[in-house]
Amino acid sequence: MVTPGATTNADVTVPGARRGDFADASLDTSSIAFVLDCHVWSNDKVRVTARNVSLSTVDLPAAALHVQVVKRRVG
């Protein structure tokens, strides 16, 4: 359960991910009660943060979480 304005994190292993790479996440569900944000926080690890933007407590659904990492181009 996530109270209004609160966040919860999920750490996902993504082999080859490095700091500075671009990361994106999606969830196999439809909801306007929360938003997802993510970033590569250490080698091979992506942190996904779900924030409750509604005015009521929500229960994040049991759904597949998808994470994509795109390598940063230098130069």
Angle (CA) 22 24 30, round 5°: 170
Handedness of CA 12, 17, 20, 26 (dihedral sign): negative
Mean pLDDT for the stretch of residues 45-66 = 88
- 35 lies in a domain? yes
Mean pLDDT for the stretch of residues 44-67 = 89
> In the predicted model, is pLDDT for residue 75 greater than 70?
no
Residue 26 domain boundaries: 7-70
pTM: 0.84
- 2 lies in a domain? no
Q: What are the pLDDT digits (tens) for 6-37? A: 999 999 999 999 999 999 999 887 778 889 99
Mean pLDDT for the stretch of residues 42-47 = 96
The total number of structural domains in the chain stands at 1
